[in-house]
Chain A
Amino acid sequence: MSTSSFDLVVIGSGPGGEVGAIKAAQMGLKVALVEKAEHLGGTCLNWGCIPTKALLHSAKLWDKLKTIEEQGIEIGQPKFHWNKILERKDKIVDAQRKGLRFLMKKNKIEVFEGHGRLTGKTGVSITAKDGKITQIESKAVLLATGSRVKELPFAKSNGKNVLNSDHILSIDHVPKSLAVIGGGVVGTEFASLFARMGSEVTIIELLPQILPSEDGECVKEMERNLKKQGITLDTGTKLKAIADDGKQVKVSCEGKDDRFFDKVLLSIGREPVTEDIGLDKVGLTSEKGGFLKVDEHYRTAVPNIFAIGDIIPTPALAHTASAEAYHAVEVIAGHNPPLINYSANPNAIYTYPEIASIGLTEEKCKEQKLEYLVAKFPFAPMPKAKIEDATVGFIKIIYEPKYRELLGVHIIGASATEMISEFALGKVLETTVDEIGHTIHPHPTLSETIAEAAHVALGGAIHM
């Protein structure tokens, strides 16, 4: 058993841990990074953002090809090879994994492979796969252990026909029929992916709408588009049981006839990984739902132990974890960074059309009894939208009437996830809707729709 000593040990190498480790090393700290999985990168790189978006990109291209003749281009009968689509996804993921290894080396971060556990306020043990235990010491610890797929107690995935989001990434064919249990972001993205690749998809959601945290108007527009893509939306429906007979899966819901699908995807959410990381050794306990309690600088009740990302009750998003880790290690290094403004934290959904948003939904504004106004403009009249065949959707700006502060922005459309950044910056800089309307946007672009939406707030849009 060898002991070495660090300024900072980061447990977990996802988008939180990886960014925290690199930033800390850049500031001159001696950093160790602990990862129990085979590859660096956490859920985001290995089972989340990156592989799913790679597949969604292929689906988007395939979808475009279906109407390519309308653009005057003839390519004969298009075909796709699912195995090659998977290969491309794996290649992208692999390249990123290698990139991460390189960054660790470049920043002289010592990577420990194995299960990291706190052994004391300044001690971390790493148990490798072969059972070998390494003990290291560190002045500070950043817990970035992330989350895992949540399972239903009465309907567990089996990796055969009942899948979770980890399994479905490597599914060797496009299923004929697919039931998606849970219409959150993950479920809706996979539904959108497989529907476009040719599956008959049904989303079964307990709540009255899919994407429950998004703005109602955007969700309505999304539901309309998904239905057009052939997806059956079964909202307000309670799942009773699923039974896999090895060939197909019987899905039983309350008040409905039993249905049969080739595959079922369980996507009811994720849960934090906070057990078996040695919290008891330092007197920490997780709260309801497994989350850790931290202060505004992500410090736990033990002053030199910090926690970020999916294990604290902030939005479970890769970029949020990265920002939190960046903040935490700046504090650890003795700096005084500004607090993270969560009202400027963007959400992004990579269906087609995409949804991206910051701040409050209209429903939340009502719930909080805020005074608000809405300025909304569709993409359809904009020339670039017609050129790019991207006329679906709109931009909706919710603002406060007196000082005209941005309260929330909701974009549904072809490039919503790229466009939201302007509003994230605007929100951080405390821009009002007026400055956005007075900002010159290049013509012709989809982003000039942003200015038009703001013009609505300034007294009227120009092009409608």
Chain B
Amino acid sequence: MKEEKQRSFKMSNVTEVLMPLMGEGVHEATLTNWLVKEGAKIEKDSPLLELSTDKVDTEIPAPASGYLVKIICTVGTTVKVGQVLAQIASSPDATVSAPSAGDAQSSAAKVPATEVPSVTLNATAGSQGQSESDESPLRSSPLVRKIAKDKGIDLGQVSGSGMHGRITKKDILDFAENPTAAAAPSAPAKSEMPAVPTQSQAQLSTTKVGGEELLEGVAVRREPMTRMRQLIADHMVESVRVSPHVTTVFEMDLHKIWEIREKYKDSFYKNEGFKLTLTHFFIHAAVQAIKLHPIVNTSVDGYDILWKKDINVGCAVALDNGLIVPVIKKAGDLNLLGIARRMNDLIVRARSKKLKAEDVQGGTFTITNPGGWGSITSNPIINQPQVAILGIGAAVKRPSVVNDMIAIRPMMMMSLTFDHRAIDGEGGAKYLASLKEIIENYQDLPV
């Protein structure tokens, strides 16, 4: 019987589903959904699973046709590039053993090496697929176990700095000396050169009373952040730490672009299949203003300013559980129609989770539009390593003084939040002044 099974394994053709390379700097993702049940039949290139990275949520298609004989990584697992997620076999009864850590490593070697992260504790635990929960097998050493026994330390509390998260003598001695400091991070600290440092979030101290968790006497329900939420949290804290933020606000009269939009909206919809919006004008105008004031399109590297040769505008798009910032590449080369088409394509794909990793990379300037919900003005946080973010407020009809008479005009607040390391108040104001000039003086659809 056993022999029979082995033979069928050998006869059937097994394809490993590997975590793909999702772009520069993307080393890991959270597996958020299996779209096919274990044992089910699937076609090559049909959607198989969903991954969520710090940059993008995306569907991964099946690499081969056949039967999904084994799901190795469960929903919620953090997976590394090159890790085996599942196995597809040409016959439904193929018996497939979970790959060992060595297999995971060898399959990792198939992707270009600069992108291969070392197989970590999590990766191995996932590929063994043994535990439903996220608990990884503890790696330590005979010496560490002796010290733990002697000092009564639970090794589960100690974070390992060794290879594959192994707890070393130094780790346990550090823990023995200072349990809180040594316990915290789940991932070993990255070497400083290429990695962007992540900020671990502040810990609150809560108490437990009769099964209920209390924070300062108030009962709470604890819910872990999604991967996207965690990354947003880290990025925001880091941005505020790195950049001194300054915000300046201008009021703009939208009646010109309002009129142009009214004039063209029907024919535009007929031709393009989507609506022409004021936002398209704002992006176009913001790009033209960047050309006049390229300082807002830079990065700060130590005491150097890096001037970007392209204008790649990121536009924040709200999703159910977070936000994503797809990027209109080389927006400086596009007219208003080009910008509208690109923006529409990105929004459609963002909402249907079809963005590719490169769609959210390489931004040089960001626009955020909380005005859609009625916010008049905002104070957004800069998307590092950029130096400025444009906040668009709600367009509201107001009485406005025009030629010493009161007129009703669609008015809007635009804010520029900028990094004071690179840009002074004058620079920020001049950018917005130019933007106002452009927005208030559109004569027709710009081509």
Query: Given B114, B115, B116, B146, which contacts A403 in the complex, CB threshold below 8 Å?
Result: B146
Bound together, the chains give a CA A402 to CA B149 distance in angstroms of 12
Chain B residues in the interface with A (C-beta under 8 A): 112-118, 141-144, 146-147, 150, 161-163, 168-169, 188-191, 193-195
Bound together, the chains give a CA A123 to CA B170 distance in angstroms of 39
Sample of 12 more A-B contacts, CB < 8 Å, known A404-B143, A430-B144: A27-B114, A28-B112, A335-B118, A335-B191, A336-B188, A336-B189, A338-B161, A403-B150, A430-B141, A430-B168, A432-B143, A432-B146
Q: Is the CB of B191 within 8 A of A435?
A: no
Bound together, the chains give a CA A350 to CA B114 distance in angstroms of 39
Q: Is the CB of B114 within 8 A of A28?
A: yes
Query: A396: CB under 8 A from chain B?
Result: no
Q: Is the CB of B117 within 8 A of A335?
A: yes
Nearest chain-B residue to A402 (Cβ)? B150
Q: Is the CB of A431 within 8 A of B193?
A: no
A123 CB to nearest chain B CB (Å): 17
Q: List 21 A-B contacts (CB under 8 A).
A: A26-B113, A28-B113, A28-B115, A297-B191, A333-B113, A334-B191, A334-B194, A335-B118, A335-B191, A336-B118, A336-B188, A336-B191, A337-B118, A338-B163, A403-B147, A403-B150, A404-B143, A429-B142, A430-B169, A431-B143, A432-B146
Bound together, the chains give a CA A431 to CA B166 distance in angstroms of 13
Q: Is the CB of B169 within 8 A of A405?
A: yes
Bound together, the chains give a CA A29 to CA B116 distance in angstroms of 13
Q: Is the CB of A434 within 8 A of B142?
A: yes
Q: Which residues of A contact B195 (CB under 8 A)?
A: 334, 336
Residues in A333-369 with C-beta less than 8 Å from chain B: 333-338
Q: Which residues of B contact A331 (CB under 8 A)?
A: 191, 193
Nearest chain-A residue to B120 (Cβ)? A336
Known: A334-B114, A335-B118, A403-B150. A430 touches B143 (CB 8 A): yes
Nearest chain-B residue to A426 (Cβ)? B142
Known: A27-B113, A430-B168, A435-B142. A338 touches B193 (CB 8 A): no
Q: Which residues of B contact A338 (CB under 8 A)?
A: 161-163
Bound together, the chains give a CA A336 to CA B116 distance in angstroms of 11
Q: Which residues of A contact B193 (CB under 8 A)?
A: 303, 331-332, 334
CB-based closest 5 A-B pairs: A430-B141, A334-B194, A28-B114, A430-B143, A27-B113
Bound together, the chains give a CA A183 to CA B115 distance in angstroms of 48
Q: Which residues of A contact B189 (CB under 8 A)?
A: 336
Q: Which residues of A contact B150 (CB under 8 A)?
A: 402-403
Q: Is the CB of A405 within 8 A of B191?
A: no
Residues in A401-443 with C-beta less than 8 Å from chain B: 402-405, 429-432, 434-435
Q: Which residues of B contact A435 (CB under 8 A)?
A: 142
Q: Which residues of B contact A405 (CB under 8 A)?
A: 143, 169
A185 CB to nearest chain B CB (Å): 30
Q: Is the CB of A336 within 8 A of B142?
A: no
Q: Which residues of A contact B118 (CB under 8 A)?
A: 335-337
B296 CB to nearest chain A CB (Å): 28
Bound together, the chains give a CA A29 to CA B189 distance in angstroms of 23
B33 CB to nearest chain A CB (Å): 30
Q: Which residues of B contact A404 (CB under 8 A)?
A: 143, 146
Bound together, the chains give a CA A29 to CA B112 distance in angstroms of 10
Query: Given A27, A297, A432, which contacts B142 in the complex, CB threshold below 8 Å?
Result: A432
Most buried by A among B118, B141, B188, B190: B141
Bound together, the chains give a CA A333 to CA B194 distance in angstroms of 8
Known: A303-B193, A332-B193, A335-B117. A431 touches B141 (CB 8 A): yes
B391 CB to nearest chain A CB (Å): 34
Bound together, the chains give a CA A274 to CA B117 distance in angstroms of 34
Bound together, the chains give a CA A52 to CA B163 distance in angstroms of 35
Contact residues of B: prevailing secondary structure = loop
- Interface extent on A, as a size class? 20 to 34
Bound together, the chains give a CA A303 to CA B194 distance in angstroms of 11
Q: Which residues of B contact A26 (CB under 8 A)?
A: 113
Residues in A289-326 with C-beta less than 8 Å from chain B: 297, 303
Q: Which residues of A contact B113 (CB under 8 A)?
A: 26-28, 333
B117 CB to nearest chain A CB (Å): 7
Q: Is the CB of B194 within 8 A of A430?
A: no
Q: Which residues of B contact A434 (CB under 8 A)?
A: 142
Q: Which residues of A contact B188 (CB under 8 A)?
A: 336
Nearest chain-B residue to A304 (Cβ)? B193
B55 CB to nearest chain A CB (Å): 17
Query: Given B112, B116, B142, B191, which contacts A430 in the complex, CB threshold below 8 Å?
Result: B142
Q: Which residues of B contact A297 (CB under 8 A)?
A: 191
Q: Which residues of B contact A336 (CB under 8 A)?
A: 118, 188-191, 195
Bound together, the chains give a CA A335 to CA B120 distance in angstroms of 12
Query: Given B114, B141, B143, B163, which contacts A29 in the complex, CB threshold below 8 Å?
Result: B114
Q: Is the CB of A429 within 8 A of B141?
A: yes
Bound together, the chains give a CA A336 to CA B117 distance in angstroms of 9
Q: Which residues of A contact B144 (CB under 8 A)?
A: 430
Bound together, the chains give a CA A26 to CA B163 distance in angstroms of 20
A141 CB to nearest chain B CB (Å): 14
A408 CB to nearest chain B CB (Å): 15
Bound together, the chains give a CA A429 to CA B113 distance in angstroms of 26
A212 CB to nearest chain B CB (Å): 29
Residues in A10-65 with C-beta less than 8 Å from chain B: 26-29
Nearest chain-A residue to B164 (Cβ)? A338
Nearest chain-B residue to A403 (Cβ)? B146
Bound together, the chains give a CA A432 to CA B193 distance in angstroms of 35
B94 CB to nearest chain A CB (Å): 34
Q: Which residues of B contact A332 (CB under 8 A)?
A: 193
Bound together, the chains give a CA A303 to CA B302 distance in angstroms of 13
Bound together, the chains give a CA A430 to CA B143 distance in angstroms of 6
Bound together, the chains give a CA A4 to CA B383 distance in angstroms of 35
Bound together, the chains give a CA A26 to CA B113 distance in angstroms of 7
Nearest chain-A residue to B188 (Cβ)? A336
Most buried by B among A29, A331, A332, A429: A429
Q: Which residues of A contact B112 (CB under 8 A)?
A: 28
Bound together, the chains give a CA A334 to CA B143 distance in angstroms of 30
Q: Which residues of A contact B162 (CB under 8 A)?
A: 338
Nearest chain-A residue to B168 (Cβ)? A430
Q: Which residues of A contact B143 (CB under 8 A)?
A: 403-405, 430-432
A401 CB to nearest chain B CB (Å): 12
Bound together, the chains give a CA A335 to CA B191 distance in angstroms of 7
A339 CB to nearest chain B CB (Å): 9
Q: Which residues of B contact A303 (CB under 8 A)?
A: 193
Q: Which residues of B contact A432 (CB under 8 A)?
A: 142-143, 146
Bound together, the chains give a CA A360 to CA B205 distance in angstroms of 45
B359 CB to nearest chain A CB (Å): 23
Q: Which residues of A contact B115 (CB under 8 A)?
A: 28
Most buried by B among A332, A337, A338, A432: A338
Bound together, the chains give a CA A226 to CA B161 distance in angstroms of 45
Nearest chain-B residue to A405 (Cβ)? B143
Q: Which residues of B contact A431 (CB under 8 A)?
A: 141-143
B302 CB to nearest chain A CB (Å): 10
B164 CB to nearest chain A CB (Å): 9
Bound together, the chains give a CA A297 to CA B191 distance in angstroms of 9
Bound together, the chains give a CA A29 to CA B113 distance in angstroms of 9
Bound together, the chains give a CA A39 to CA B225 distance in angstroms of 58
Nearest chain-B residue to A400 (Cβ)? B143
Query: Given B114, B147, B169, which contacts A333 in the complex, CB threshold below 8 Å?
Result: B114
A404 CB to nearest chain B CB (Å): 7
Bound together, the chains give a CA A260 to CA B213 distance in angstroms of 89
